[in-house]
Amino acid sequence: MEKKKLKSIFWDYDVNYTGEELYDFLVGKKEIKELTRDRVIARMLASMRWYDLVDIFGIQQLYKFLNDDVFKFIWKKSLKNRFKNVRETLQAVL
């Protein structure tokens, strides 16, 4: 797993957390006061390759990330619709 790739979503911020700490935050095992989970997940979905996300989180966890609270932070409509379609597909399979 390449959890260290999670740090790449903060290329424009000075974030002093490791990829492991960010992973724990995203899956709900750790709290980070300065970050909002839904906003970070939306940023991650918009900026990382899907296959990297599958390697890091697995399909089950990614499905949990694909919710309306996260989608409201994805500003690009085509990307938001793509993830809604992925959610529907995964819902049918899982």
Each domain of the chain, given as residue ranges in start order, spans 3-93
Query: What is the mean pLDDT of the segment spanning 6-13?
Result: 80
Higher pLDDT, 24 or 14: 24
Q: What is the predicted pLDDT for the residue at 13?
A: 74
Please state, rounded to an integer, the average pLDDT across all residues of the chain: 91
What 3-state DSSP class applies to 42? helix
Element counts in the chain: helices (H) and strands (E): 5, 0
